[in-house]
């Protein structure tokens, strides 16, 4: 993708999420001042999880960060320099609810940020498809995983499906 098209795609991408980000700027975030939060919340274990987007003339990225403002414990970055790193997004539809989920895989672990239509958002960590940790946000979360629907070269869209379809997409 040429520089102009990439810049245009990121401008649209950031435009979709800017309104949510500005209206909830008081929420905790591990995003840098030059980044736009796609999702950020303080978890019930007092740590923060954030997914941040940045667009610069030389480098654009989507970054996951987990930890405290004083010490980030885990990062995952998707950018032009790491072509095999990607985020995935999908919506799981249940009988009475749905979850918009943004996830990535690192080694044997899958990290999923979920934002249900009803209920609170949070973070789920799985090892070989089995959930080993699930922590809800202690607040409503700022931004939202569904807030950035514009195309991104770092997020693979999987659309909407039921749980069985979605588990196949995630390789469970």
pLDDT digits (tens, 9 = 90+) for 44-69: 999 999 999 887 656 788 999 999 99
pLDDT recorded at residue 2: 43
Determine what percent of the chain is predicted with pLDDT higher than 90. Answer: 35
Residue ranges per structural domain of the chain: 3-170
Q: Does 21 score more than 70 pLDDT?
A: no
State mean pLDDT over 26-39.
Answer: 85
pLDDT recorded at residue 14: 40
Q: Look at the block and give the residue holding tokens 């997020």.
A: 155
Rounded Cα–Cα distance for residues 48 and 42 (Å): 4
Predicted structure pTM score: 0.75
3-state helix, strand, coil in the chain (%, to 5): 15, 50, 35
User: Three-state DSSP class for 170?
Assistant: helix
pLDDT recorded at residue 24: 42
State mean pLDDT over 134-162.
Answer: 70
Q: Which residues contact 92 (CB under 8 A, 6 or more apart)?
A: 98, 99, 101, 161, 162, 163, 166
**Spatial contact of 57 and 75, defined as CB atoms under 8 Å apart:** no
């Amino acid at each position: 993708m040429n520089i102009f098209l990439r810049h245009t795609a990121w401008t649209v991408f950031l435009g979709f999420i800017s309104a949510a980000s500005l209206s909830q700027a008081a929420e905790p975030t591990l995003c840098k001042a030059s980044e736009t939060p796609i999702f950020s919340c303080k978890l019930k274990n007092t740590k923060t999880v954030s997914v941040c987007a940045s667009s610069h003339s030389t480098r654009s990225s989507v970054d996951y960060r987990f930890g405290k403002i004083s010490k980030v414990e885990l990062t995952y970055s998707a950018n032009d320099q790491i072509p095999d790193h990607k985020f995935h997004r999908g919506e799981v539809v249940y009988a009475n609810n749905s979850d918009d989920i943004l996830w990535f895989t690192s080694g044997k672990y899958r990290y999923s940020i979920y934002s249900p239509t009803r209920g609170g958002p949070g973070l789920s960590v799985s090892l070989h498809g089995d959930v080993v940790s699930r922590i809800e946000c202690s607040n409503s979360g700022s931004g939202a995983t569904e807030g950035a629907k514009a195309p991104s070269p770092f997020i693979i869209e999987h659309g909407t499906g039921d749980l069985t379809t979605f588990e196949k997409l995630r390789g469970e």
